[in-house]
Amino acid sequence: MADINSELTKQVIEFTEVFAELDDLVVFTPKLPVGANWGYLGPVAWKRDSDIEQHFQISVPSLSQSQYGVILLTKDGSDALGEIVDWVPNMGTIEPSRFTTWRGIPADPEKYVSGGDLFVLGMDKPTAEQTAGIKAIRKDLVIERTPDHLIWSRRLPRDTVSLNDVRIVTGVELASGAFVSTSAHAGEERTIPVIRFFS
């Protein structure tokens, strides 16, 4: 197996930039370092006033807040991260809503996977400015996991939308902090890629 550390530099940091707020939900993005092509797999979501454990309870026990996530930098010659070229809506309703959730489409879906979803206020597709820094990751560098933690849920007139993430990982995996959204109307099972230390 190849060592993923030869392909990527990984840093766990606090995501400090408020991307969206709706009632008791806050979505954060990172302030990426200047001068290098750092990326991340998706924003982190946090429900205010919730008694929850942090994303990295096994892999990084010292972290105590849910707004931590992973930023990534490809090493010279590596194609570990790919571009997201489009965003498609996740929600099963076309009725006006205060928010929408979106899934990134990698430039090469055979080779890369989107690492999480995006929560946007309003109905408009996310802009390039809103999605700057969000990357896809090569499939052989991740393991798909079923979300094990409900962050937030909202009932709509004809649907229920939930944001979920992965909290429990093994000692050879790292949850990125990103979330996926599920729609009761769409009725689909979703997974989240977690980063492997070996591929």
Determine the average pLDDT of the residues in 121-150.
93
Determine the average pLDDT of the residues in 13-38.
90
pLDDT band, residue 33 (cuts 50/70/90): confident
What is the token pair recorded at 161? 């939308």
Q: Tell me which amino acid residue 119 is.
A: F
Q: Which residues of 166-176 are buried (b: 16+ CB within 10 A; e: fewer)?
A: bbebeeebbbb
pLDDT at 160: 82
187 Cβ partners below 8 Å, 6+ apart?
A: none
Alpha-carbon distance of 89 to 93, in angstroms, equals 9
